[in-house]
Structure 1
Amino acid sequence: MAEATMGGVRAKAAARPQFYFWMACACLAIAVVGFLPTYFVPMAQGRYAAPPIVHLHGMILFSWVAFFVFQSWLAARGKVADHRTWGLVGVSILTAMVFIVVGVVSMRIRQASAPGVPAAITDGVLGFAWVSISAIALVIPAFILAMVYVKRPEVHKRLLLLLTVSLLGAPIARWFLTFSAPPPAPSGPPLPADIAAMAAPPAMVAVAPALVGDILLLIAMGYDWRTRGRPHPVYLIGGAILVLQQLTQPQVADTAAWKAAAIWIGKMAG
C-alpha cells in the first residue's frame, strides 16, 4: 500500500512539468493566433507598414513566449542543468522587452503630442499608454522574484507562468478589436490617415481581453487543487495583484498624475 501511494505521488510530480509545458504552448498559440488579423496576415499581404521599432517590439515579445515554451520543454524532459544555463538568455530577452515596450510607448506619445494632432487623440494615447506601462510594472517584479526563487521550482515556474499570462491581453484584444470595434463616427470630416493611425482606444477596452487571458491562471489553479489540494500562493497573491492591475487600468489611465508621467515618458523619444 505504501509503495502504491509513493508511486502515485511520483506520477503526479512527473506530470507537473508536462502540464507547464502545455500551458506554455497555450500561451504561444494565443500570441500567434491573436496577432494574425492585425499583424501577420496584413504583413504577409504587404498591407502593414510600421517603423522598425514596432517590428522589433513584436519580435522580442514573441521571443519571450517562444523561449518560455523552450524552457518548459527542457524542464519537462528533466534537463534541469540546460534549463538553468539557458535561463541567462531569458534575462536578456526580458530586459530587452522592458526597454522596447517603454521605447514604443514613448514614440507613440511623442507622435501624438506633435503640433496639429487633435487634443482628443493626444489625450487618448496618453491614457492608453498606462496599459503597456502597468503591464511592465508587473512583469519586472514577477521576473525578479522568479530569479530569486530559481532553486524552488514550484515557485519559479508559477511566477513565470503568471508573468507570461499577464502579457496575453494584447493578442486577445486584437480579436476583440477586429470583430467588436465600433463603426467610425458619421459626423465630422475624416482625419488624415497619418493622424487617424495614432488614435488609441480607451483603456477600458483592455480589461475584458486581459480577464479572458486570466482563464489560463484559473486552469492552473484548478490543476493545483487536483494535484496538491489547494492553489499555490503565487496564484492566489500574484493572481489577485494581476486582476487588480487589470481592473483599475481605466481609472488610473484617466488620472492627471498618470498623464503627466506619460508626457514625461514621451520626452524620452527625443
Structure 2
Amino acid sequence: MNAFPEDRNLAKRKRKNKIFQTLFLMSTCFGVVALALLLIQVLSQGIGWLNWDFLTNFSSRIPENAGFKAAIFGTLWMMSITAPLTFIIGVATAIYLEEYAKDTRLSRIIQTNISNLAGVPSIVFGLLGLTIFVRLFGFGNSILSGGLTMTLLVLPIIIVASQEAIKAVPMSLRHASFAMGANRWQTVLRVVLPSAFPGILTGTILSMSRAIGETAPLIVIGAVGYIAFTPESFFSQFTVMPIQIYGWASLPKAEFQNVAAAGIIVLLIALLGMNALAIYLRGKFQKK
C-alpha cells in the first residue's frame, strides 16, 4: 500500500533538512580547520621569538635584534585619532539620519551612498587620503594623515552599525518619553542612546579592529616600513603593525619569517582582545 502524500512530503523535507545541515556543518568545519592550521603555523614559527625584547626593541636588519616597538606605538598614535573621530562623527550621523532626517530623496541618496562606501576597497580610501590629506592639506606621510584616512575607511561601518542599533529601539520608548513632556533631543539623549549603546559600542570596537589590521591605505599614503624611533607628535612619520609584518615577511632572510610570525601573534592578540572586549561590554550594557 502506498504511503500518504503527506508522509512522502514529510520524508522529503527531512532528507532536504539533513542534506543542508550536513553542508552547513562542512562549511563551518572548513573555516575552523583553516583557521586552526593558520594559527598552528604562526604559533610554531613565532612563539619562540616572542619575548620582552621583541616588544621593546626597534626594527633591525639583524633578526635576533628586531623588535615591534615602533609599530606598536605608531598603531596607538594612529588609533588615538581614528577612534574618537569615528565614534563622534559616526554616531552623530546615525542619530541625524534616524531621528531627524525626513524621508526625502536627498536622505535616501545619502543613505545609499553610505551603504555603498562600506563595501569600497580599502585602497580607494588610501588614494583619497593621499590626495586630500597628504597633498592638498599638506600633512605629508604623518600620523595625522594615517588617522584621518582610517577614519574615512571605517566611518561608513560605524554609521550603518549605529543606525541598526538605533532602529532596534522600540518606538514605544520614544512615545513614552514624548508623553512625559521630553523634547526630541532629550528623548534621543536619555532614552534612545542608552538603549542603543551596546550595539553602537560593539560596532565601534569591531570597526577599530579592522582599522588596526589594514595595510593598503597606509602604504598608499606613505607609512614607512622601517622606523627606529617612537612618534613625538601627530606630524611624525610612523609605521603600524601590519606594515611592519609585511616588511619582515618580504625580506629574503629566512629568520625574518619567524620574526613576522611573532608580529602576527601580537596583532592577533590585539584583535582578539578587542573582539572579546566588544562581547563583554555588549553583554554588560544589555543587562543594564
Q: TM-score under structure 2 normalisation?
A: 0.31
